[in-house]
Chain A
């Protein structure tokens, strides 16, 4: 599969279909990979593929320094390819501006990443070329997909509050979560705006709550569960629980899952007249 990937990348660079290939390269230790940006056909041997390729490379579509390199080809797993569908829907990229080398995947990480446990996109839903043997995408039942939330939803109000305060108080406001997120693409984040200052920039408990709630809320109906925010968090806040909770609510209330169908309307920019409203007086 690695050979196939390299051959494909070489071909694309040689015939000038793309200017750069975003892929995975070997890391400093065998259990790690790092993103590589191949611009010359002779460098394609730097590309690799293994179960440690957990990252979501679509995040580099929003960075100035990688945008400058020209039209990219991206090596994307099924989950990562869902990001592309959301970005297309939100008019952040044009389909013709990216070339997608889809890879089929049986799960990454060692131990297996949480996101892979209920995976239903072993074969990407959108790609220009597919590398690897095609797998069947079996849908996982709703309960199973959000099973991780059960133990937290069961907690009482006070326990929930204490659990999250304990998590949020660790936050150092490094913003790694939003920097890595492929869908946090605002040039100027709300947290950087200070007239008025909506979110306190100091890393104190009150500001941390505002920040973490707002970050999660801005991904409501958009997050594709790549878990990158949680992976990069230097203080190990289980951020993806918040994202997952919002995804669950969006699916339950609007019957919408981001990144599956390019024809679906975006959950938060549309409405239905019969949306749930029992909590309205």
Chain B
């Protein structure tokens, strides 16, 4: 770690209708942002099970972004409201277990907000870079890491080791 600079791995769970289109707009607008983010497109933030987030950490994510439509703008009317309730309890639970809440961020970005997407991504990448790799999670003991956690963990352990 001391030789190569740490580059955080950020997984972004985006809703198809707003934030994904917003990220697309940033692209067509030729806006530049840090390339640490891996996007996973889903129909709606309301369909994001907290297990997705846990799995992302298991597979070596250093930070996670969940982003969807602004309240009132949901393509399915209320998906983002339900999601908001979920994160309202899930976030404190992770914090209670000792996971820094800065590693899991939430935002509302509409299809017109390419600029906000760039800011948000740069923000989370900088924040997580400051925090460093999520070693405490990645170092959790597993039996047969090749079977239970593929690429992510091995890459992470070679980085950190």
A contact residues vs B (CB 8 Å cutoff): 152-153, 157-165, 190, 198-200, 202, 204-207, 209-210, 213-214, 216-217, 220-221, 242, 245-246, 249-250, 253-254, 267-268, 270-273, 275-277, 279-281
Q: A214-B54, A249-B93 are in contact. Are A206 and B148 (CB under 8 A)?
A: yes
Contact A242 to B142, CB < 8 A, known contacts A198-B51, A275-B85: no
Among listed B7-15, B30-38, B102-110, interface-contacting one: B102-110
Residues B84 and A206 in contact, CB atoms below 8 Å apart: no
Contacts of B148 in A (CB 8 A): 200, 202, 204, 206-207
Q: How many residues of B contact A (CB 8 A)?
A: 43
Contact residue among A206, A250, A277, A280 (Cβ-Cβ distance under 8 Å from B89): A250
Having A164-B97, A204-B141, A281-B106, one finds 5 other A-B pairs with CB under 8 Å, namely A163-B98, A200-B58, A204-B140, A210-B54, A246-B92
How far, in angstroms, from A214 to B92 measured CA to CA in the complex?
13
The answer to whether B78 touches A271, judged by C-beta atoms less than 8 angstroms apart, is yes
Q: Are A242 and B96 in contact (CB under 8 A)?
A: yes
Which residues of A sit under 8 angstroms from B72, Cβ to Cβ? Answer: 273
Cα–Cα distance between A49 and B72 once the two chains are bound (Å):
54
Which residues of A have CB within 8 Å of B82? 271
Inter-chain contact A280/B54, CB cutoff 8 Å: no
Smallest distance from the beta carbon of A281 to chain B beta carbons, Å?
4
When distances are taken between beta carbons in the complex, the residues of chain A under 8 Å from B141 are 204-206
CA distance A254 to B81 in the complex (A): 13
Q: Contacts A160-B98, A164-B97, A206-B140: A245 and B85 contacting too (C-beta < 8 A)?
A: no
Interface residues of B (CB under 8 A from A): 50-51, 54-55, 58, 71-72, 78, 81-82, 84-101, 105-108, 120, 123, 136-137, 140-144, 148-149
Name the CB-closest residue of B to A218.
B50
How far in angstroms is the closest Cβ of chain B from A117? 20
B96 touches A153 (CB 8 A): yes
- A190 contact set on B, CB distance < 8 A: 51
- Residues on A with beta carbons closer than 8 Å to the beta carbon of B143: 202, 204
A198 to B72, CA, bound (A): 32
Nearest neighbor of A163 in chain B, beta-carbon distance:
B98
Q: Complex: how many Å from CA A166 to CA B140? A: 12
Question: Of the candidates A163, A202, A268, which one forms a contact with B85 in the assembled complex, judged by CB atoms under 8 Å apart?
Answer: A268
Q: Which of A158, A162, A253 contacts B88 (CB 8 A)?
A: A253
| Chain A neighbourhood of B91, CB < 8 A | 279
Q: Verify B84–A277 contact, CB threshold 8 A.
A: yes
**Least distance between B144 CB and chain A CB atoms (Å):** 8
